[in-house]
Chains A and B, each alone.
Chain A
Amino acid sequence: MVENRPWLTVFSHLVLILGIGVVVLPLWVTLVSSTHAGEDLLRSPIPMWFGNQMFENYSQMLSSGMKHVSGQPLTGMMLNSLIMALSIAIGKIAISLIAAFAICYFRFPFRMTCFWLIFITLMLPVEVRILPTYEVIANVFTPLTKLLALLGYEGTDVVIAGFSIDLDVSMLDSYAGLTLPLIASATATFLFRQFFLTVPDELTEAARIDGAGPMKFFRDILLPLSRTNIAALFVILFIFGWNQYLWPLLVTTDPSYATVVMGIQRMVNVADIEPQWNLVMAASMLAMLPPVAIVIGMQRLFVKGLVETEK
């Protein structure tokens, strides 16, 4: 502190406490509401202190879900979310690591072309290419069959050396469809590239003299050195994956593939009647829990990941 002005310090604390009040209020309301019976939340003002239905609400949501809106248990949805978040985080990290390794540590024709192709993905979020991406998910070979059609070959079967290959593979309602299109990431590739550029060249040279080839160097030296970066990125990407909304909404119609974040809107947007807020709030708590726990538990890595992915 530059000078000692006690009232200023008190004022700072006061502002912060008020600010935190605003920020935390939704969480408080959600938590409290999720412990009440449905009827308690039909009268205004709703209670601001805990009720006694916590166990009932949460166990109902986890085991059977909300009855009148197709009633999927949240356990399954959360598992789907977990699968999606983990696949996206691990997949992105894996393919970005090796791509950045190739771009930094090899000279080869079309290196810059590859770099720019990856860079372009930065400018193409799902939101701007919804329909055509959906088409590709509906049939992964769409690009191929359309290109073949351009060359005068019609149909979705290709015969190669006597084998007929069916070029009609849909990824709708599948984990592959949920995750694959999201695991290409320019951001992660750039982060690793940035980090690799700071690894001293002498380390690579020492490893070469020690008899390590490219993959051995990658595994023995580069990967262990990237550990903190990987962990920090994992935190960010896990949250990114868990919180996906538009994409699961598009590619899944089968409720057994629904993710929890996307599933909640079905409980809110019910026709003509008030949603069962106690249950919706219990579901919201469950949907928030994993990513919030990760941010708070791994605060240092989270901040590092956030700051570094923005470079």
Chain B
Amino acid sequence: MIKRVTFRHKWLPYALLAPQLLITLIFFIWPASQALYQSVLQQDAFGLRTAFVGLDNFAYLFSDPIYLESFDVTIVFSVAVALLSLSFALMLAVMADRIIKGATTYKTLLIWPYAVAPAIAGVLWYFMFNPAVGINAWILRTVFGYDWNHTLNGTDALLLIVIAAAWKQISYNFLFFLAGLQAIPRSLIEAAAIDGASPFKRFWTIIFPLLSPTTFFLVVVNIVYAFFDTFGTIHATTRGGPAGATNTLVYKVFNDGFIGLDLGGSAAQSVVLMVIVVTLTVVQFRYIERRVEY
């Protein structure tokens, strides 16, 4: 927590902390407390008067079918992104861990999507699946006879943003899986090989269980990513549509707050999101604590 050896100074530590604290207070703590405060208020139609309404905003929120649908969309979206990205990355990491020649080249070719902005990732896949000219849409049509159209078909739209979001996250998952695999002692795998386990069996009985801390950590990170970092992916492409099929919670809070201008409702949505982040952060930290203490 603190060094054994410390300096003595009356005001210096406060001066050193001031910039960070000031920014935290003005741009984090204050707005968050405002959200909490506004979430229990309601403005009249003209924005002239506000009244304390207790948990009404929340009650309204959770009885609103659009909000509940948005909740469902977010959960399906997050789980799909995490599953798709993690399984793909794990497969590549396991293969990359096996080979000796060319490992660095493969790694370089796999890590760059991390640097692509979620919004740009969205645009690239939006183009590839473009119903008229997209190469993927064309393949689906000519090879599989499927008429892809994410502007009309909600499932297609959701799939589109799942793929775009999962693609960008592959690099991250790959790197952590590879690190996790390389941390598994060779001797364990050799022992299993001597015990006659086939490579496939070795993976499921030795490697995968030993990798589970990494996997768990990545699941949480991927869910957080899908919840909060994919706004750009959606906003630059489907804009929540069609008919709310890609209207995730974060997209909705933005949309309702800025376009709909419903202060109390938007604040209540913010508070719900806050609860979700806090929960996920706590889960993540519990895990990290365990990892640090060995």
A127-139 to B contact mask, C-beta < 8 Å, 1/0:
1111111011000
B268-283 to A contact mask, C-beta < 8 Å, 1/0:
0010011001100100
Within 8 A of B (CB), among A203-237: 204-205, 208, 213-215, 217
Q: Kindly state whether residue A143 has any CB partner on chain B within 8 Å.
A: yes
Among B45-53, B59-67, B96-104, the stretch in contact with A = B96-104
User: Could you tell me if A143 and B17 are in contact, using CB atoms closer than 8 angstroms?
Assistant: no
A269-311 to B contact mask, C-beta < 8 Å, 1/0:
1000010010011001001100110111001001100110011
Residues of B within 8 A of A42 (CB): 132-133
Residues of B within 8 A of A98 (CB): 16-17, 19-20
With a 10 A CB-CB cut-off, give which of B3, B114, B170 has the most chain A CB atoms. Answer: B3
Residues of A within 8 A of B172 (CB): 306
Cα separation A101 to B99 with both chains bound (whole Å): 43
User: Could you tell me if B119 and A261 are in contact, using CB atoms closer than 8 angstroms?
Assistant: yes
Q: Kindly state whether residue B165 has any CB partner on chain A within 8 Å.
A: no
Cα separation A12 to B96 with both chains bound (whole Å): 7
Cα separation A25 to B121 with both chains bound (whole Å): 12
User: Could you tell me if B253 and A127 are in contact, using CB atoms closer than 8 angstroms?
Assistant: yes
Within 8 A of A (CB), among B161-191: 167, 170, 172, 175-176, 179, 186, 189-190
Evaluate whether A120 and B29 lie within 8 angstroms (CB atoms) in the complex, with A128-B273, A131-B266, A264-B119 already known. Answer: yes
Evaluate whether A196 and B3 lie within 8 angstroms (CB atoms) in the complex, with A108-B14, A125-B228, A184-B28 already known. Answer: yes
User: Could you tell me if B274 and A242 are in contact, using CB atoms closer than 8 angstroms?
Assistant: no
Cα separation A95 to B20 with both chains bound (whole Å): 6
Question: How would you classify the secondary structure of chain B's contact residues: helix, strand, loop or mixed?
Answer: helix
User: Could you tell me if A123 and B232 are in contact, using CB atoms closer than 8 angstroms?
Assistant: no
Cα separation A205 to B5 with both chains bound (whole Å): 7
Cα separation A30 to B120 with both chains bound (whole Å): 11
Number of interface residues of B (CB under 8 A): 103
User: Could you tell me if B123 and A292 are in contact, using CB atoms closer than 8 angstroms?
Assistant: no
Q: Kindly state whether residue B126 has any CB partner on chain A within 8 Å.
A: yes
Q: Kindly state whether residue A48 has any CB partner on chain B within 8 Å.
A: yes
Cα separation A134 to B256 with both chains bound (whole Å): 14
User: Could you tell me if A287 and B270 are in contact, using CB atoms closer than 8 angstroms?
Assistant: no
Q: Kindly state whether residue A124 has any CB partner on chain B within 8 Å.
A: yes
Residues of B within 8 A of A239 (CB): 114-115
Cα separation A99 to B154 with both chains bound (whole Å): 47
Q: Of the candidates B116, B124, B175, B237, which one forms a contact with A292 in the assembled complex, judged by CB atoms under 8 Å apart?
A: B116
Residues of A within 8 A of B112 (CB): 27, 292, 295-296
User: Could you tell me if B111 and A299 are in contact, using CB atoms closer than 8 angstroms?
Assistant: yes
Within 8 A of B (CB), among A52-108: 94-96, 98-99, 101-108
Q: Kindly state whether residue A161 has any CB partner on chain B within 8 Å.
A: no
Look across to chain B and name the residue whose beta carbon is closest to the beta carbon of A128: B273
Shortest CB-to-CB span from A92 to chain B, Å, is 9
Look across to chain A and name the residue whose beta carbon is closest to the beta carbon of B2: A104
Residues of A within 8 A of B95 (CB): 11-13, 15-16, 19
Evaluate whether A26 and B125 lie within 8 angstroms (CB atoms) in the complex, with A13-B102, A133-B31, A296-B108 already known. Answer: yes
Residues of B within 8 A of A152 (CB): none
Residues of B within 8 A of A151 (CB): none
User: Could you tell me if A184 and B35 are in contact, using CB atoms closer than 8 angstroms?
Assistant: no
Q: Of the candidates A104, A123, A265, A281, which one forms a contact with B274 in the assembled complex, judged by CB atoms under 8 Å apart?
A: A123
User: Could you tell me if A246 and B231 are in contact, using CB atoms closer than 8 angstroms?
Assistant: yes
Look across to chain A and name the residue whose beta carbon is closest to the beta carbon of B125: A26
Look across to chain A and name the residue whose beta carbon is closest to the beta carbon of B227: A127
With a 10 A CB-CB cut-off, give which of A16, A22, A295 has the most chain B CB atoms. Answer: A16
Residues of A within 8 A of B266 (CB): 130-131
Evaluate whether A129 and B31 lie within 8 angstroms (CB atoms) in the complex, with A1-B100, A117-B25, A123-B274 already known. Answer: yes
Look across to chain B and name the residue whose beta carbon is closest to the beta carbon of A8: B199
Evaluate whether A264 and B3 lie within 8 angstroms (CB atoms) in the complex, with A20-B106, A291-B115 already known. Answer: no
Residues of B within 8 A of A25 (CB): 128
With a 10 A CB-CB cut-off, give which of A19, A287, A299 has the most chain B CB atoms. Answer: A19
Residues of B within 8 A of A29 (CB): 124, 127-128, 135
21 A-B residue pairings within 8 Å (CB atoms): A2-B189, A13-B102, A15-B91, A26-B167, A94-B19, A96-B20, A98-B16, A99-B19, A111-B2, A122-B281, A124-B274, A127-B253, A132-B32, A135-B34, A189-B20, A201-B5, A245-B119, A265-B236, A284-B120, A306-B114, A307-B176
Which A positions have Cβ atoms within 8 angstroms of B? 1-3, 5, 8-9, 11-13, 15-16, 19-20, 22-27, 29-30, 33, 41-46, 48, 94-96, 98-99, 101-108, 111, 114, 117-118, 120-125, 127-133, 135-136, 140, 142-143, 180-181, 183-184, 189, 196-197, 201, 204-205, 208, 213-215, 217, 239, 242-243, 245-246, 249-250, 261-262, 264-265, 268-269, 274, 277, 280-281, 284, 287-288, 291-292, 294-296, 299, 302-303, 306-307, 310-311
> What 16 additional pairs, Cβ within 8 angstroms, besides A131-B270, A265-B232?
A8-B199, A19-B91, A20-B106, A26-B124, A26-B167, A46-B133, A98-B17, A107-B2, A128-B253, A128-B277, A131-B35, A131-B38, A131-B267, A243-B232, A245-B236, A265-B123
Q: Which 5 A-B pairs have the closest CB atoms?
A: A245-B232, A132-B31, A243-B117, A132-B34, A291-B115
Which B positions have Cβ atoms within 8 angstroms of A? 2-9, 12-14, 16-17, 19-21, 23-32, 34-35, 38, 88, 91-92, 95-96, 98-100, 102, 106-121, 123-128, 130, 132-135, 137-138, 167, 170, 172, 175-176, 179, 186, 189-190, 193, 199, 217, 221, 228, 231-232, 235-237, 239, 250, 253-254, 257-258, 263, 266-267, 270, 273-274, 277-278, 281, 288, 292
